[in-house]
Amino acid sequence: MSSDEHLRDRIIEAIRTVRDPEIPVNLYELGLIYDIQIDAAGGVHITMTLTTPNCPVAELLPQQVEAAVAAVEGVNSATVAVVWEPEWTPDMMSEAAKLDLDFTGKFDPRKFHRPGTTGITIGRKPTDRS
């Protein structure tokens, strides 16, 4: 493995530490990282998107990616550009992310069952048992 490939792998691992607080999957596996460019001087330029322009952490996530990448040994500078084209879709997620988020097309009601609930009491009012 070349030193460029090794650095790229470490950059990807750093990006994998950044998670959207509303989605329990890292940004890399979500498919939000479109491009990683590394120049000869150790400068890294990341092109990424967000799941939606209305993302409540739209300013925070690119900053977190930039900080995570800048902390990688061998990176001398890091910049992040947020783009909206192509528009992100769930098809851009890795297979692991799709499984984590149950985007398999198979509905498993057990994932939505909370202890202490029956799933059939929605909309019912408690009865008076006195």
Which domain covers residue 37, as residue numbers?
3-104
Q: Which of 22-31, 58-67, 118-127 has the highest mean pLDDT?
A: 58-67
Q: What is the pTM (predicted TM-score) of this model? A: 0.75
Instruction: Copy the structure tokens of residue 50.
Output: 């967000």
Supply the CATH number for residue 36's domain.
3.30.300.130
Domain count within the chain: 1
Q: Quick check: is 125 in a domain?
A: no
Give the tens place of pLDDT for each residue, 10-32.
999 999 999 988 888 899 999 99
pLDDT at 113: 43
Lowest mean pLDDT among 11-15, 40-44, 83-87, 104-108: 104-108
3-state SS assignment for residue 82: strand
Q: Quick check: is 73 in a domain?
A: yes
Which residue has better confidence, 85 or 126? Answer: 85
Residues 63 and 94: beta-carbon distance below 8 Å = no
Q: Quick check: is 59 in a domain?
A: yes
Q: Cα separation of 42 and 73, whole Å?
A: 10
**Tokens 């990448």 sit at which residue?**
69
Q: Quick check: is 72 in a domain?
A: yes
pLDDT at 103: 67
Instruction: Copy the structure tokens of residue 47.
Output: 């092109």
